[in-house]
Structure 1
Amino acid sequence: MNFDDTPQEAAFRAQARAFVAAHAPKQFEQELSKASLGRIRLSNADIVEVGKAWQKTKAEGGWACLTWPKAYGGRGASPIEKVIWQQEEGVFGKLTQPFQIGEGMCGPTVMAYGSEDHKRNYLPKLASGEQIWCQLFSEPAGGSDVAGLRTRAERDGDDWIVNGQKIWTSGAHYSDFGILITRTDPTVPKHKGLTMFILDMKSAGVEVKPIKQANGMQEFNEVFFTNVRIPDSQRLGAVGDGWNVSLTTLMNERLSIGARLATGFPELFDYCSELITADGPALDDRAVRSKLAHWAVKDSGLKYTSYRAVSALSKGQRPGPENSIGKLVAGSMLQEIAAFAMELDGAAGVLSDPAEAGAGGRFQAMLLSSPAMRIAGGTDEILRNIIAERVLGLPGDIRVDKDVPFNQIPTRGR
């Protein structure tokens, strides 16, 4: 594969670079460049409001949700052009964090299964930053088994009445809408009785409770539903076909997370280049150089694996199970790198105050956030199963509940 820009791509890159230079909120550039995964915040501004303003600016210039059709707020650009834009947007891409779920997961699902009214009503407002979306999948009793969900939706004329709970919902506390998967028929096997809806997060009966994280942030939430009414017109896909609808979301989720998830390697390399340990410069230590070389290879592998996914998308292919590889590798790599950086710090590694800790406390924030990265979007174990079964073609796990009606599956051990 030739990674050099074609003349057309070079022209597109020049346009993108000029737009960023002219319109990006440069007053936040220094803070954003130091922000790490796990602590992307601004000291004197609300990152959600700043993100909305940047998203609106991009939309007005034709740079938001690039691969979406123009009719839905996008640019109709190619996947390669989207990669070029992300490269040129640089640190300002961190401001789009509140919109990543909407753009990368909810939007593609609405495009695949929504009506034309859904697409024209919701997608342009999502692309412009006017509305933020979340994804309501995980539940306390389901663990990594999305199909084990218990939030129920019961038909009532032209509406559905929803009761239940979701958990670990990123951004629910500032979201306007979400895609919600529910159980509409408990008498069939668990993968067959599900239905997906578009939910107005301001609906009566929706309660959002933020979860305080170890790193001091509150990005995840519990969401409770008490007799929430959703019109049938807000359904995505057929009744009982929610699992197939959710696969579109999940495949796009793993593509989005795997392609954008930071590993901490650039930060670690820069840190080691300047760090002086008790034994001298860190880079003089062959063990340090060996670790860096190991992670450099992995980082390069992630980069070119993501390019392979982009190439497939450019040919019109649907994101596949192979995109689980990027998320699996990046999640564990992030945790290993953060732990190693703190080990290099010695006793100073226990400091977490950005004003006192080495590298502004970025590695401490990474370490505290890294367990979530190995759970969100599919746990390591789930991703390994997906890769083994759907990519490598290995025999699947024995699933004793596969063909059992959901309401007959035991809920506790004996």
Structure 2
Amino acid sequence: MKTLKVGMLGAGTVGSQIARLLLDNKADLASRAGAELELVKVAVKNIKTKRNSIASTLLTDDATSVVNDPDIDLIIEVMGGISPAKELILAALKNGKSVVTANKALLAKDGATLYEAAAKANVDLYYEAAVAGAIPILRPLRESLVGDHVIRIMGIVNGTTNYILTKMDEEGTAFKDALKQAQDLGFAEADPTADVEGIDAADKAAILAGLAFHSRVTDKDVYREGISKITAADVKVAKAMEMVIKLLAITELTDAGEISVRVHPALISRNHPLAAVRESFNAVFVEAKSAGQMMFYGRGAGGEPTASAVLGDLVAVARHRVSGGVGPKESDYASLSIAAIGATKTRYLIRLNVADKPGVLESVAHVFAAHSVSIQTVRQSGAGDKAELIVMTHHSSESALSATVKDLSKLSAVSDVASVLRVEGAI
């Protein structure tokens, strides 16, 4: 049986698991790939650090020697970051090596450059592990649904934020305490900004949007809001309305044929399949014209789950190398424009702190009407100067809603607009 030599860039939590699984499952992987997969060189920052799953003889601190080694056939990149990962991947592709990467940030920022380099060298660029860990979602979009028309994707693609929101919903935990729990369990980094402010999810949303709608989408195209402003009051209102708050990555086609792509916290009905996705799990809900509704669910992060996705890609590109072919290349023929966030339409829940006196509801309703934002329901709680109005709207554009909120804050009877949350999902 032919042997394909594998080089790896990075040997952290994910890389260590990849190395272990390559060794433990050597015979099975060889049978599935049609060639033995031999890990021959691993680039790390510090070769003196002991790694139980990787022999010290394989380690090097010279990453360029891995991508330039003429004996290496396939490259796995799990070092992360933009540079030097980008330069190393481009060098590997130029040298005729197929690449498997989990680098969502790089793909979202400048995936086009990588796709073009892979196409020019006639080699594979696979990246299933870049979105939702072990969950197979990119290949279904890239291959299984290529004969269909995707209408909408709505997903929970960040385990840290989902864990935090689960604890706030189920146990009444404060945001900062839930975040500390996530950090203690290893779900969140010491600096959680990329997670709680939606940066990680936005990178993944850009990748999903590009595949779903056959257009180039970058991280700069994604409208983004995080969960750091979600309060116990928001969670309490959601529960009272049989809803739950989730950080959602959403991409869909607008009526104008543009791509709307956004990441933000939103309310969804507890009857929706995504509402049952708890703690650090991920799920992606896909709606396609012919296939209908589908949900992909599983572990979205962690060493073993991510390594599983990487090895799935490795077997795929190894098969292509054995047979002399390549897998699907970038599909960007549609070249659709990105919709401005102001054109996006959804429902909204607005909480207003108001004075409980005659004429308040009338003045609030007048502002909504002035901007053609239709009110679905109104609920009031409290009394005196601490009354609260909870307004649910029908579908409205983001621009109309923003103008409405701006004018509501100017009303003398409104002490403040406590929160504005989007409402997603019809189920």
Q: Same fold (TM over 0.5)?
A: no
Q: Under a length normalisation based on structure 2, what TM-score does the superposition of the two structures give?
A: 0.25
Who wins on radius of gyration, i.e. which is larger?
Answer: 2
Give the structure with the higher percent strand.
2
Give the structure with the higher percent helix.
1
